[in-house]
Amino acid sequence: MYTALVAVALLGACWARIDDGQLEDTELRMPGIQPNSDDLYLCTAIKVDSQEPHYIVGFTPHGSMKTAHHMLLYGCLLPGSQKKVWNCGEMQADKKNSFESAPVCSDGPQIMYAWARDAPELNLPDGVGFKVGGETSVQYMVVQVHYMHPLEAPDFSGLTLHSTPQPQPRLAGVMLMVTGGKIGKHTTEDFETACYIDENIKMHPFAYRTHTHKHGKVVSGYRIRDGEWTLIGKKDPQLPQMFYNVQNDLIIEKGDTVAARCHMKNDEDRDVYIGATGADEMCNFYMMYWVDGDDLLQDSTCFSPGPPYYHWKESAGLDNVPEDINELGN
């Protein structure tokens, strides 16, 4: 059922050295893929071929709604596969296709960019870059493309990465807030996580991304300081799941707590669990931030087991939860 053709086997992609005086452009694109099934998630990788670290400061997407449903860009220590193109669908239960199935990264995934629908190119704030190559844990860049439907012609969706060897004064990082858990049939449920920041750090969040599957209604992230909750961002996860600008300019530092909630509704006749397929659910809140200097958050994943094992109030003693938290304003 899942078969697809690789029309152009190898483009010989490599880390480009096209220097226009300022930025180097590196293309990371599918090598002419022609899916002939629905919902195919494919990955292709490029080695960050630089002894010196590079700083990625912007992303230009090449895709159209007609072919690609979404694209996600990850930095990896090692890609999930050595193949030119592999099947990296988290939501795919059916393994019957001509591509090897493997994760996006076999080690160290870090999300850096997300494209969906008409998302424009993303340039990081001035002086901010993702540090890759050199001694960093990002040695490969991997793009995942979600093909919704069969295509009539080979597809070359992907991204151009804009980078510079010039050290940037501010480093970009991503923190992930994520839960496990389950939602009973015909109920609503709040999937919650919260973490105390105990590292010496000053994070400046500038973008966020939410991810759930179809039961998600509202996903929000907050900073809690002295019992006061300040919104980082809140979104309907059924909207395109790209990075959006944060809703408040704030700093997160040692002593603060960060918290995220996914409000979900299950109208089905079955319980739904957090898991890896499209029939399962997920609760993710990604926060992209910058720091002055060189030190990103070491422990960048904030995980809770989720409902019914974990709720803010009972498990973390958090109160003062904003009353409008499950409402979509603006």
- The binding site for Cu ion (CB under 5 A) comprises 69-70, 146, 282
Of 69 and 234, nearer to Cu ion (C-beta) is 69
In whole angstroms, how close is the CB of 101 to Cu ion at the nearest point?
16
Of the candidates 282, 287, 288, 311, the residue annotated as catalytic is: 282
- Write down the catalytic residue from 92, 110, 139, 144: 144
215 is catalytic: no
Instruction: Identify the active-site residue in 54, 213, 215, 311.
Output: 213
Q: In angstroms, what is the minimal distance from the CB of 212 to Cu ion?
A: 7
Burial of 230 (C-beta count, 10 Å sphere; 0-12/13-18/19+): middle
Active site residue 213: yes
Cβ–Cβ under 8 Å, residues 274 and 215:
no
Taking the C-alpha atoms of residue 152 and residue 50, their distance in angstroms, rounded to an integer, is 37
For Cu ion, which is the closer residue by CB, 246 or 283? Answer: 283
The nearest distance, CB 71 to Cu ion, in angstroms, is 8
How many Å from the N-terminal Cα to the C-terminal Cα in the chain? 43
Per the omega criterion (within 30 degrees of 0), is the bond before 308 cis? yes
Q: How far apart are CA 275 and CA 220, in angstroms?
A: 20
DSSP letters for 195-224: EE--SS-EEEEEEEEEE--TTEEEEEEEEE
Instruction: Please report how close the Cβ of residue 79 comes to Cu ion at its closest, in angstroms.
Output: 19
Q: How far is the CB of 146 from Cu ion (least distance, A)?
A: 3
Smallest distance, Cu ion to C-beta of residue 81, A: 20
* Options 162, 204, 211, 263, the catalytic residue: 211
Neighbouring CB atoms inside 10 A of 237's CB total 24
Identify the DSSP state of 126.
T
With vertex at residue 266, the alpha carbon angle to CA 286 and CA 39, rounded to the nearest 5 degrees, is 60
CA 188 to chain centre: 25
Q: Considering beta carbons, is residue 178 or 282 the nearer one to Cu ion?
A: 282
Residue 313: which region, alpha, beta or left (left: phi > 0; alpha: psi -120 to 50)?
A: alpha
Nearer to Cu ion, 146 or 234 (CB): 146
Burial, 289: exposed, middle or buried (Cβ in 10 Å; 0-12, 13-18, 19+)? buried
Q: Which residue out of 110, 139, 146, 264 is catalytically annotated?
A: 146
Q: Does 247 qualify as catalytic in the annotation?
A: no
| 186 given a catalytic annotation | no
Residue where the block lists tokens 């993710």: 284
Catalytic annotation present for 144: yes
Residue whose CB is less far from Cu ion, 91 or 321? 91
User: 53 or 307: whose CB is closer to Cu ion?
Assistant: 307
Is residue 62 annotated as part of the catalytic site, yes or no?
A: no
Is residue 211 part of the annotated active site? The answer reads yes
- Mind telling me the catalytic residues? 69-70, 144, 146, 211, 213, 282
